[in-house]
Structure 1
Amino acid sequence: MASSTRRREIWRERIADGWANAWRWVLAAFGTVAATYFILERGVLGGATLAIVVGAFVIAAALTGSTPLAIALFAMPGLLVSQRIGLGGGDLSVSDAALAAAFGTAVLLGRRPYSSPLRKLLVINLVYQFATLFTVIVNPYPLNTIEWFHAWLLISGALIVGWAVGAAGYARLALSLIVFTACVFAAVTLIGAAFSYAEGDFGPATPTWPFPMHKNFVGTVLAFGAIVAYLNPDWVGWTKGWARFGFLLMTAGIIVAQSRQALIGLFAAIIVGVMRRSTTGRSRWVFLLLIPVAWLVIGMVIEQIESQNRHNSVFQRVEWLREVYHFWRESPVFGHGLRYWYNPGELPYQPPQAELEVVASAGVVGLIAFVVMWIGVLVVLWRVDPRFGTLAFAVLLCRAVQAQFDLFWVAVQVSVPFVIAGICLGAMDLDRRSKAAPNDVLLAEPVRRMPGSGVPIGRRR
């Protein structure tokens, strides 16, 4: 009788496990069909991009049973890809798709409760979202509403993704995937620059493989990776040699791309590292390296001004600022709506400066909330444990500085620094829990030690 009852219990458990894993098989089947459709119907070149993305997430879904956050980890390199996949006739990018998939995984399988610093950042972003809700109401068109949710995902969604990965003990792996992808971009940029220089073309290097990249896009992405490699926190555990090599490689990529805002943002992050040298171990001598780079930036600006070419980036930006100012005056309080430049009859371009873009889109109300949000985010991160907060603060300060000279609401350039900040906060919470209960269960990963902390992390033993 007892054995019969035990057999029934075993069968119930197997059936329950089967239903619990059924969604993975459904996703795998959907992914196979979708990949085949886009290759056959959309063409090999356009369809292959989406097929690779779908295939990667199918593999990640299959691994979710053993590694719950596999989808979020697979999404890390995709966060740096701005290529459009045109899903459903829309303008969805690989980065947006990767972030959305990682966010869903983080919400369902990420650790709870969130730490106090993360909750503060989410509330601060919620204040900005509430302020921009007025422009959504005043300017009722579909893209305005869609962008409102998209903006929340790029900040709060990215923070939650990073938190889930870091709190689960995958901080090193996630950051390694991001930095490795950035290093690939840097290598491609340098190779392209070498061929251009050989032909006598000393203009900005703009890679066309694995997808076309604007100089400011590739410069911004490389700056994020260079900051992580430069600070190389002890809890990440990279060797100094590899970190130094990655930093120099990505910095060289920024220089040949001639992305001035990326260089200035990197300057700001390096200054933060030196200011906290008791934690980062960075020497003041690094400032000597800033001299030739500063000379390069200033020289490029002076050269464009002296050329008196009304179509170069300096004079073009001045003209854009003037036009956006007059456009903002038509709706100063609540703005013209998010992504207004896609509407017929409106100013047909995205303003190339963060505050100018926000005030034109969301008015004075949105601008005040935007400034408060950024001040609040930086203050919160400056006050957390410097071992973890320095990298988070530096990478977001870099983004804030970059945005003073170029577009702000661009998927990759907003989501990636906030994901990195979330990873730092998640790793900090893991470290706290490890010290509080070093022998308790913390992760679903095999037992190992967090580099630099001597803290065991892994399954219950």
Structure 2
Amino acid sequence: MSISPRAFPGRTPGAILDDEGKGAAMTLRRAAVQAFFADLWANVWRWVLFAVAAVLAVYFALDRDVASGAVDAIALGVLVIGVALTPRHPMALPMLAVPAVFVTARVGFGGGDLTVSDLALALAFMTVVLLSRHDFSPTMRALLWLNAVYQFTTLLTVIVNPFPQNTVEWFHAWLLISGALLVGWGVGRAGLMRTAFLLMFVMGAVIALGTIATAVVVFVTDGFQSIYPLWPWPMHKNFAGSAMALVALIAFIKPAAADLPRKATVPVFWLMLVGIALTQSRQAAIGLLLSMLIFTLRSGASRHKVLVAVLAIPGAVLIVQSVIDQIQSQNRFNSTYQRLEWFREVYALWKHSPIFGHGLRYWYVHPTANFQPPQAELEVVASAGLVGLAGFIVMWIGFLVVLWKFWSKHTALGALAFTAVFSRIVQGQFDLFWVSAQVSIPFVIAGVCLGAQVLASHRENSDDSPKIENLGEQGAGWRSATMSGR
């Protein structure tokens, strides 16, 4: 490019080039600034959303006026970040909801409240329904239909016993099973199984460390007893034990498809066992030991047989001995005698409405029966009557049969899906069943396994299709050559 000095009288060509370079630089800077502000303006809605989330989190924390308000705020903030990331990463919210389903701290909504776990599950469920692929496998469809059977049978008690808690719990129970399955499905179908299980490891470790920290204080001040973790949020010992048992189960089975590192699974497994032992949650220990036993016997994992025997034999002895000690103590207020008393009261209550029951969550409105029955089938028959109990039994037998068959076809993922769900119904024989996160977490795990299996099948088919096309072209070429030679 030549520059004519006549066009710029009195200036040298070098000065002219310097001015042009400065002008170009200024133009580039101006364009960069304009692009920055344009991008900032385009993302204003995200910043507004973050600000609103912060305000709501503080409001919920103050509204509850509890020590776990900070936990509520953090959990809500994480969920809002997931909402903001959803346009670019559709499964961001379900992915962030995986650790949030472990949080049983409550957030306030004026006169009512719900757990962070339920809120996270509901938001993630809506995201999966709207944005995830719905190419459900036959196993997934069967599980959803089995849950629909139970929901239909309990719909009758909602009609017969019209009170608000009954209706709300009907939707809530459906969300805890079908909603959790769909959330897990969306995460697994998106190829996020490994990340989901690692996040569960983190949450299990947080609960276990909180249990240990609480135990140190309690043992020093009050002596040896069952630990109800107080950090990072207050938890019942049976929830903490059940949550850690499920995390221990993932670390024990560690499906190959998840590619979980041994340096994570081994310490997590033993940390979970320590936490469960401190809580002294019998239902969690029984569910975990039976699940490990079934996995070991069916998979023929000889390397696990000694470990299961070492854990199961003393574990069973301690559980049986603790029950015997409670019976011999003649203390009418310990857990064994209290359960027996509740069984008698629930049976007497059920006889007044045997067919359709007294309604889901009847203990919120009943004048005398103001406690939740401490056993799965007992709670269902008192709430939904014999009709609801029939649906519950059909649902759970169906779940176990369907997942057992899934295990037969897909051993890598079927083992974890079956044992996670199996452990929940085992735990429900000894304590409350319809309890928020204790129901949803096993089904999230099962859903992740089912979604990951479909993703793996699609990848295998896509890898095989070019080979099939090449074989087809070779076959066509061979036929053409042989035909032309005739």
Q: Do the two structures share a fold, i.e. TM-score over 0.5?
A: yes
- Corresponding residue number in structure 1 for 2:238: 216
Partner of 1:401: 426
Alpha-carbon distance in structure 2 between the residues aligned to 1:339 and 1:33: 32
> For 1:438, what is the secondary structure of its paired residue?
helix
Q: What corresponds to 1:243 in structure 2?
A: 265
> Given the superposition, is the C-alpha separation of residues 348 and 427 from structure 1 closer, same or farther in structure 2, using an over 3 Å criterion?
same
Q: Name structure 1 gaps, 5 residues minimum.
A: 1-16, 441-461
Q: Is the 8 A contact 2:137 2:454 kept in 1?
A: yes
Q: Would the alpha carbon gap of residues 434 and 57 (structure 1) be closer, same or farther in structure 2, given more than 3 Å must change?
A: same
Question: Does 2:218 align with 1:170?
Answer: no
Residue type at the aligned position of 2:320:
I
RMSD of Structure 2 on Structure 1 (CA): 2.3
TM-aligned CA distance change 1:38 to 1:288, over 3 Å? closer
Pairwise CA distance, 1:118: 0.5
Instruction: Give, in whole Å, the separation in 2 of the partners of 1:123 and 1:259.
Output: 32
1:41 and 1:185 map into 2 onto residues whose CA distance is 25
> 2: CA distance between counterparts of 1:281 and 1:248?
19
Structure 1 residues 5-154: aligned runs within 5 Å:
27-28=49-50, 30-35=52-57, 37-38=59-60, 48-154=70-176
Q: Is residue 195 of structure 1 aligned with residue 220 of structure 2?
A: no
Contact 1:227 1:266 in 2 (8 A): yes
Letter of the 2:426 partner, please give it: V
The alpha carbon displacement at 1:372 in A equals 0.7
SS of the aligned residue for 2:88 comes to: coil
**TM-score, normalised by the number of residues in structure 1:** 0.87
Cα distance in 1, alignment partners of residues 368 and 180 from structure 2 = 30
**More displaced 10-residue stretch of structure 1: 339-348 or 92-101:** 339-348
- Figure out how many residues of one structure are paired with residues of the other and give that number: 423
How far apart are 1:270 and its partner, in Å?
0.5
Q: Which of 313, 323, 337 is the matching residue for 1:301?
A: 323
Distance 1:423 1:100 in 2: 17
Greater CA drift, 51-60 or 211-220: 51-60
* Residues 261, 405 of structure 1: 8 Å contact kept: yes
Q: What amino acid does structure 2 have at the position aligned with 1:348?
A: N
Note the alpha carbon deviations across 1:357-403, whole angstroms, 9 max, x for none.
00000000000110110010111111111211110110111110000
- Work out the CA distance in 2 between the residues paired with 1:380 and 1:18: 51
Q: Rate the CA distance shift 1:224–1:352 in 2: closer, same or farther, 3 A.
A: same
Q: CA 1:346 to 1:118, structure 2 compared with 1: closer, same or farther past 3 Å?
A: farther
Q: Tell me the CA shift for residue 273 of structure 1.
A: 1.5
**In 2, distance between residues paired with 1:167 and 1:21?**
29
Aligned to 2:177: 155
Task: Choose 63-72 or 403-412, whichever is displaced more.
Answer: 63-72
Cα distance in 1 for residues equivalent to 2:152 and 2:40: 43
Supply the AA of the counterpart residue of 2:76: V
Q: CA deviation at 1:346?
A: 4.3
Q: In the alignment, is the contact (CA less than 8 A) between 1:24 and 1:61 conserved in 2?
A: no
Residue 204 of structure 2 corresponds to 182
The one-letter amino acid of 1:237's match is D
Q: Tell me the equivalent position of 2:375.
A: 353
Structure 2 partner of 1:429: 454
Out of 285, 302, 306, the position equivalent to 1:285 is 306
Q: 1:138 to 1:70 in 2, by over 3 A?
A: same
**Aligned partner letter, 2:167:** T
Alpha-carbon contact 1:266-1:398 (below 8 Å) kept? yes
Indicate the SS of the match to 2:106.
coil
Compare CA radii of gyration and give the structure with the larger one.
2
Q: Which region of structure 1 is more displaced relative to structure 2, 202-211 or 399-408? A: 202-211
Give 1:27 deviation, angstroms: 3.9
- Richer in helix (by share): 2
1:410 equivalent in structure 2 = 435
Matched, 1:231 2:231: no
**CA distance in 2: counterparts of 1:76 and 1:338, whole angstroms:** 27
Residue identity over aligned pairs, in percent, reads 52
| TM value normalised by structure 2 | 0.82
The one-letter amino acid paired with 1:127 is V
Letter in 1 for 2:214: G
CA 1:400–1:41: 2 relative to 1, 3 Å? closer
Q: Specify the SS of the correspondent of 1:276.
A: helix
* 1:401-427 alpha-carbon deviations (Å, 9 max, x no partner): 000000000001000000000000001
Q: Which moved more, 1:238-247 or 1:125-134?
A: 238-247
Is 430-439 or 19-28 further displaced after alignment? 19-28
| 1:306-357 deviation digits (Å, cap 9, x = unpaired) | 1011110011100000000000000000000000000041410000000000
Structure 2: any 5+ residue segments left out of the alignment?
Answer: 1-38, 466-486
SS of 2:104's equivalent in the other structure is: coil
Q: Which of 256, 268, 275 is the equivalent residue of 1:253?
A: 275
Which residue is 2:294 aligned to?
272
Tell me the amino acid that sits aligned with residue 461 of structure 2. A
